[in-house]
């Protein structure tokens, strides 16, 4: 079952609310009192909504055991990421499975992941059809208005919570006070932001000299922060494209473009994979090869499956098909290539990452930051033009003539021959 954008937003909001009800009820039973278990002040637990939306997109084609396993992997991955992010930004651990067997850092454990897998299975198989049916009963204009109103309320609530909870003082009592202050936050938000900005500017003047010294003589992209991850994305996108090109030459005997974009040898799938796996497993980069292999196998398989579904839904095009390879799942992934992801994770952390990381950190700080944002701008333009080329290619296949300036420009610069040369394996899905 495929979903529209509004249906996905509706599922996100619905499961965010239902997750909040579940968490709050469980806490009430355990602590004998009402406890708001949401990340924000309102009745929303956005981890549940995010997990449900991702599963709805990535797992809508699978059933049975595959649906259960996919739900387990997606839920465990999201819970692990959310646990780290919450501890990093809120300085707290909101759950801890350290006392349970087969746990990883206390953020996830086998028993809870299996439970999330069961819940995901139930939601995808029975919950989604019911919620979509209920959504369809409401008149079109009204249901869209409801979605936007709820989404706006959630965003305002999330912003207010973030501001109140992550101010410079960082007092924990702000969490309890947030519920009472939320009704007033809309009116006071502007004044509060202005005050905070003024304070930050005032304090900034006191450390300008120190910051300038750090800018000139500090280490660029140390650790695994934003700048390092961006450079790793580009390195992974380039190396992934080269690797796939050579692989196709060896196995198929032909040179074939494997790029995801129209400008340059960059594979977005590989770039995102390298960036994400580094950010997720950076803490465990010194663990055993067996651990990295298993983590890479499961995460890589889930990631490739999601990318396959996403590109087909967005572009109406299948960019790879493993249907003829044994042990495949819908032609989107197969066991052999999942093992390749695991091997790639081991090779990356044990061989490639240390060298590439050192090379990135040798860049001058200012040059590195300027170059990073220049690369981001370039890739954003590259992806935009690539989407235009693919969209127009599909329209031409359906016999649609150019009716706007962007269509005319795309036809002139990216005719069918060029698109087919860049994406030789792209197959239109009717």
Beta bridge partners of 108: 104
- Say how many Å lie between the first and final Cα of the chain, rounded: 15
Q: What is the mean pLDDT of each run of 10 residues along the chain (430 residues)?
A: 85 87 68 52 79 88 87 89 80 82 87 89 90 87 86 74 53 45 38 38 42 56 90 93 86 83 90 90 90 92 88 76 88 90 91 92 89 93 92 88 91 91 71
In the numeric block, which tokens belong to residue 373? 């944002």
Helix axes 140-165, 173-206, angle to 10 degrees: 60
- Judge contact between 211 and 252, C-beta under 8 A: no
Residue carrying structure tokens 């995901």: 120
Q: 3-state DSSP call for residue 328?
A: strand
Q: How many helices (H) and strands (E) does the chain have?
A: 16, 6
Task: Give the C-alpha separation, 98 to 108, whole Å.
Answer: 9
Query: On the CB side of 177, how many CA atoms lie within 13 Å of its CA?
Result: 11
pLDDT at 394: 85
Which letter, b or e, does each residue of 113-140 get, where b requires 16 or more Cβ atoms within 10 Å of its Cβ?
A: beebbebbbebbeebbeebbeebeeeee
Among residues 386, 308, 292, the alpha carbon closest in space to that of 344 is found at 292
Q: How far apart are CA 130 and CA 121, in angstroms?
A: 14
Per-position DSSP letters for 390-402, written without gaps between them? HHHHHHHHTTPPP
Burial 69-80 (b: 16+ CB within 10 A, else e): bbbbbbbbbbbb
The tokens describing 197, both together, are 């900005």
Q: Give the pairing of strands 328-329 and 333-334.
A: antiparallel
Task: Tell the residue number behind the tokens 């590989």, with chain if given.
Answer: 270
Residues paired with 173 in a beta bridge:
none
Which ranges of 253-364 would DSSP assign to H, the alpha helix?
Answer: 268-281, 289-315, 335-347, 353-361
Name residue, tokens 């052999």: 336
User: CA torsion sign, 56 to 60 to 65 to 70?
Assistant: negative
**pLDDT at 165 (0 to 100):** 55
pLDDT at residue 297, rounded to an integer: 93
> What residues have CB less than 8 Å from 204, skipping those under 6 apart?
211
Give the predicted TM-score (pTM) of the model. 0.59
Three-state SS at 430: coil
């Amino acid at each position: 079952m495929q979903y529209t954008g509004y249906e996905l937003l509706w599922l996100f909001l619905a499961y965010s609310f239902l997750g909040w009800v579940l968490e709050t009820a469980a806490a009430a039973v355990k602590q004998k009192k009402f406890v708001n278990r949401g990340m924000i002040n309102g009745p929303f637990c956005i981890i549940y909504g995010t997990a449900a939306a991702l599963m709805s997109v990535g797992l809508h084609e699978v059933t049975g055991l595959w649906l259960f396993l996919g739900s387990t992997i997606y839920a465990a991955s999201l819970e692990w990421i959310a646990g780290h992010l919450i501890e990093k930004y809120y300085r707290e651990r909101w759950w801890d499975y350290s006392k349970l067997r087969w746990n990883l850092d206390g953020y996830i454990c086998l028993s809870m992941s299996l439970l999330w897998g069961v819940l995901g299975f139930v939601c995808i198989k029975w919950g989604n059809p019911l919620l979509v049916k209920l959504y369809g009963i409401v008149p079109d204009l009204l249901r869209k208005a409801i979605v936007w109103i709820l989404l706006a309320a959630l965003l305002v609530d999330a912003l207010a919570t973030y501001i109140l909870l992550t101010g410079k003082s960082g007092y924990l009592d702000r969490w309890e006070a947030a519920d009472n202050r939320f009704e007033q936050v809309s009116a006071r938000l502007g004044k509060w932001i202005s005050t905070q900005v003024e304070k930050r500017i005032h304090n900034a003047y006191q450390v300008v000299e120190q910051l300038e010294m750090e800018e000139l003589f500090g280490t660029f992209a140390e650790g695994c922060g934003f700048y390092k991850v961006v450079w790793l994305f580009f390195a992974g996108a380039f190396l992934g494209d080269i690797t796939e090109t050579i692989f196709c030459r060896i196995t198929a005997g032909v040179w074939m473009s494997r790029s995801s974009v129209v400008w340059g040898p960059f594979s977005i799938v590989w770039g995102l994979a390298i960036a994400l796996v580094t950010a997720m497993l950076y803490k465990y980069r010194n663990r055993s090869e067996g651990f990295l292999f298993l983590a890479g196998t499961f995460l890589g398989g889930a990631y490739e499956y999601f990318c396959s579904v996403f590109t087909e839904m967005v572009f109406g095009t299948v960019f790879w098909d493993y249907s003829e390879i044994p042990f495949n799942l819908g032609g989107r992934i197969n066991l052999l290539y999942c093992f390749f992801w695991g091997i790639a994770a081991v090779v990356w952390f044990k061989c490639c990452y240390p060298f590439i990381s050192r090379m990135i950190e040798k860049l001058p700080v200012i040059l590195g930051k300027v170059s990073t944002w220049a690369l981001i701008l370039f890739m954003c333009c590259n992806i935009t033009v690539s989407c235009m080329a693919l969209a127009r290619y599909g329209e031409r296949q359906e016999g649609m003539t150019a009716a706007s300036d962007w269509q005319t420009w795309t036809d002139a610069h990216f005719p069918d021959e060029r698109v087919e040369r860049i994406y030789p394996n792209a197959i239109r899905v009717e």
